[in-house]
Structure 1
C-alpha cells in the first residue's frame, strides 16, 4: 500500500469519525433502558468481582452477557469524562464500519465508468448508514455498531483477497448476491425494524447531563 493510499484512507476515516461524532452529539445523550439495566452495571460488577458471587442476577438475565464491550463506556464514565466526549467516542465504531463499507464498495464498483461508480458508491453508502436502526443506535451503548465494524472489516478483507486473485468466484458471488437478495429478506423485517426503531428513538434526544459514577451504579451496595 502506497503512502498516498494510506493518506487518503486516513483522511476518509477521520471524515467518517467527525461525521459520526457530530451525528451522535445532535442526537443527544443516550438513556436507553439497556444502559440503565446492565450496560454500566455488568462491567462494574465484573471489574469488582461481584457479578457471580455477591450479586444474584441484579440485571436480570442480561447479568450474564459478556461485559467486555461495555468496558470502554464504564471506564469513560468512572473517569468522569464529559458526556459529550463519551457520546462522540461511542460513535467511532459506526465511523469505522462506514469506512470499511466504503472500501468494500470501491472494490465492488471499481470496474464501472467514473460517473456511474461515484453514483453507485455514494447511493450504496447512504443506504447502508442511514437506516433507522443505524441512526438510532449511533453513539449509544447498544453495541451493534462495534460488531458491525468487525463484520465490515472481515467482508472487506475477503473481498480484497478475491479481487487480488482475480478469480471467478468474486464476480459470481456478487451476481448471486444481487439476484438472490430479494428472496433473503424476511417478510416481517420492515415491521420488526419499525417496532425496534420506535423504541430506540425514545431513548435519545435527552439534554446532556454529567455522567457521574454514582449515577450509573458505583454507589450500589
Structure 2
C-alpha cells in the first residue's frame, strides 16, 4: 500500500500499460474460446453477414443466429486469418482496456488527498474490479459482455469528467459534447449487444440526479437520448434493415408479437426462467443468489460484494430520505460523484433484475463493484477508519475470483480450426439440415462452400407454419440434401428419424460420410447423411 501511495501520474500510466499487456498474455494462457455460443452463432453470424446468407439460410445459428453479428466481425476476421494465440492476444488486449477505463473512473471519483489524485488506489480498485468471476470467465472470449462493457464504461467516464468542475470543486450538468459522446458510446454498446440497453437507460436517468436546474437536467437527458439512438443506428441499423428486408421484422425472431413475420410465431422470445418468482425474492435477490448462485447463472458465480453494496446503498438512501425530511444535507451531499454512480448502478440493477436476471449481463456492474463499495463505505464512515474498513471490504471481495468458472476452452493449439469436409459435387444445388445437437453445429457452416444452404429443423428455433413451408420449399429446390449430425463417432439415425418424420423427411441408411472437425485441441467427429423425402410426391409438392 505504501508503494501505491507514492505513485505519480507517470507511474500510473506505466501501470495501466502493464495491466493491458498482462491481460493480453493472460488471454493466451486461458486458451482458445470454445463456448456454447461460439458453437452456435459467433462464427456463423459474421459469415452470414459477409456472404449474403441472411434470408437464404434458416435458423442455422438457431434463433440467436439473428443477433447483430457486428461485434463478432473482429473475432471472425482475426481467427480466420491468424494463429489462435495471436487472436487470443488481440482479444485480451482489447478487453484489458476495461482496466484502463476503470482506473480513469476511479481517479475522477475518488476524493483527492492533499490535492493529489488517488493514483495507487485507483489501480487497486480497477484490478479488483477485473477479478470478478463473470468478467474472468469470459475473458478473451466471444461472449460479448466484456467487449461491450468498454462502451458502457467509456460513456460513463465521459459524463463523469464532463460533470466535474475541478476549479470550483463542484459538479454540474455535463457540456453537450460529453453528453453526445456518452450517448453515442452507450448506443453503440446497445446496438452491438441489446442487453446493454439497460445501461443506456440507466445513465439517462442518472443524469437527472446531477446538480443544476431541472430544465438543464432534462435537456441533458434529451440530448443524450438522441445520441443513444444515433449510436444504435450506427452499430445495428444495417443489420436491422437486412432483417426487415428478409423477414419483415428488424429484430427477428424476437418481438414477433409486434412485427408479425410469417416465419416465426407471434411471441416475444426471451429467457425468463432466471427471473425471481415473488416480490420477496426481488427484495432479497442479492442474498438469495449468494446462497444459490445457479438461480442467475449456469456456473456458480458468487460475488461477495453484492450483498454488501446492497446494504450500503439501502443505508445511504435511508439516511438521504431522513435528511430530506429534516431539511438537512444528506450523506452524499458533498460527494455528488458517488450519488451519480449509485443512481446509475441502482437503476441498471433494477432493470436487470426485472428483465433478465442473468449474471453475465452484469459485467459492467461487476467491474464497478469495488469502486462503488469504497465510495459508499467511506461516505458512511468518514475518515481513516472508513478507508481502512473499505480497504478490508474490497480486498475481501477480491476472493470472488475463486468462484470463477469456465464457459469452455480448447487449449492452446496454433491452428484455431481444422475441418476435413467430404467432397460436395454441386454446392449450389446442396442443402444441409441440422437437427437438435449439443453443442450446436453452426460453427461448421463457414467451412462449407458459401453456396450451400443450411436449414434448422426441430433445433431450438421457434418454428411457424410459414417457416416450415419455406424450409421445405428450399429442400425441394435443391436435389442434393444432407442431414448434418454430431458431434459423436456414430450417427444415430434411429434417434434422428422421429425429428425428421413430421417434415416428411428421412435419412438414407448407408449413405453417411464421417469427417473430422477440431476447435483448438478439442477434436470431434461429424457426419453428413443423405436426406430424402419419404415419398416422391412429397418431394414434388409445391413445385
TM-score by length of 1: 0.78
CA contact (8 A) 1:46 1:67 kept: yes
CA contact (8 A) 2:32 2:412 kept: yes
Q: 1:184 to 1:172 in 2, by over 3 A?
A: same
CA contact (8 A) 1:93 1:145 kept: no
Indicate the residue corresponding to 1:99 in structure 2.
100
Indicate the residue corresponding to 1:49 in structure 2.
52
Does 1:75 pair with 2:77? yes
Summarize the alignment of residues 115-134 of structure 1 with structure 2, pairs less than 5 Å apart: 117=118, 120-134=121-135
Counterpart Cα distance in 1 of 2:28 and 2:83: 12
Indicate the residue corresponding to 1:219 in structure 2.
447
Summarize the alignment of residues 125-144 of structure 1 with structure 2, pairs less than 5 Å apart: 125-144=126-145
Counterpart Cα distance in 2 of 1:9 and 1:177: 23
Q: 1:84 to 1:175 in 2, by over 3 A?
A: same
Q: 1:192 to 1:157 in 2, by over 3 A?
A: closer
Indicate the residue corresponding to 1:162 in structure 2.
163
Q: 1:111 to 1:77 in 2, by over 3 A?
A: same
Indicate the residue corresponding to 1:24 in structure 2.
27
Shift, 1:61, TM fit: 0.7
Does 1:35 pair with 2:38? yes
Shift, 1:112, TM fit: 2.8
Counterpart Cα distance in 2 of 1:121 and 1:148: 18
Report how many residues are paired: 212
More strand per residue: 1 or 2?
A: 2
Unaligned stretches of 5+ residues in structure 2: 1-8, 172-209, 212-334, 363-400, 421-442, 453-543
Counterpart Cα distance in 2 of 1:179 and 1:78: 42
CA contact (8 A) 1:103 1:156 kept: yes
Bigger Cα Rg = 2
Shift, 1:96, TM fit: 1.4
Shift, 1:63, TM fit: 1.5
Shift, 1:47, TM fit: 0.4
- Aligned counterpart in structure 2 of residue 172 of structure 1, from 332, 336, 353: 336
CA contact (8 A) 1:93 1:146 kept: yes
Q: 1:36 to 1:111 in 2, by over 3 A?
A: same
Q: 1:83 to 1:114 in 2, by over 3 A?
A: farther
Q: Secondary structure of 1:75's match? A: helix
Shift, 1:184, TM fit: 8.0
Shift, 1:46, TM fit: 1.0
TM-superposition CA deviations, 1:16-47 (whole Å, max 9, x none): 32111121112111100100110001100110
CA contact (8 A) 1:13 1:95 kept: no
Q: Secondary structure of 1:74's match? A: helix
Q: 1:13 to 1:64 in 2, by over 3 A?
A: same
Unaligned stretches of 5+ residues in structure 1: none
Counterpart Cα distance in 2 of 1:181 and 1:144: 16
Select between 129-138 and 111-120 the one with higher mean Cα deviation.
Answer: 111-120
Indicate the residue corresponding to 2:110 in structure 1.
109
Q: 1:117 to 1:200 in 2, by over 3 A?
A: same
CA contact (8 A) 1:20 1:92 kept: yes
Q: 1:113 to 1:158 in 2, by over 3 A?
A: same
Indicate the residue corresponding to 1:61 in structure 2.
63
TM-superposition CA deviations, 1:127-179 (whole Å, max 9, x none): 31110011111100011122111111111111111123643447324146459
Q: Secondary structure of 1:106's match? A: helix
- Aligned counterpart in structure 1 of residue 412 of structure 2, from 200, 208, 215: 208
Q: Secondary structure of 2:71's match? A: helix
Select between 142-151 and 209-218 the one with higher mean Cα deviation.
Answer: 209-218
RMSD of the TM alignment (CA)?
A: 3.7
